[in-house]
Amino acid sequence: MNQNKIDVLLVDDHAVVRAGFRMLLSSQPFIGNIVDVDRGELVCHEYERNRPDVVVMDLSMPGIGGLETIRRLMRQDPQAVVLVYSIHDESVYVERAIQAGAKGYVTKNSAAEVLAEAVSTVMNGRRYID
């Protein structure tokens, strides 16, 4: 665990999206280790294994999907910090994600810097809604 850096668990079913976000986040000086998985079913296990500071995840995934993944993770660790990024920018998705336990919500069409800023914001205990 790196003292001043934020470790991230990245969850998206598209490898190219994970690769892009990994590149984007790793270019930030305050980001530490990045572990990525391709579906919600793996999140709780990887979370336990790696104890990331922030979980950055998509909502639309095959299998249990993003909202159920957030609920399971919150049952596992109510202190978990989840930042959702999604193609959906309708407020109903934002509300559902926040109700499920997410601390922030960023749309996939926001500027690249927004994701890093959002990670930093939720890590510091504040809510971030793009």
Report the pLDDT value the prediction gives residue 37, as an integer from 0 to 100: 97
Report the pLDDT value the prediction gives residue 3, as an integer from 0 to 100: 67
Report the pLDDT value the prediction gives residue 112, as an integer from 0 to 100: 78
pLDDT mean by block of 10 residues, the chain; 130 residues? 83 94 94 96 96 96 94 97 93 96 93 90 95
Report the pLDDT value the prediction gives residue 16, as an integer from 0 to 100: 94
Task: Report yes or no: 61 and 14 within 8 Å, Cβ to Cβ.
Answer: no
Write out the H or E segment, with its range, that includes residue 20: helix 15-26
Distant-in-sequence, close-in-space partners of 107: CB < 8 Å, separation ≥ 6: 85, 86, 87, 88, 89, 130
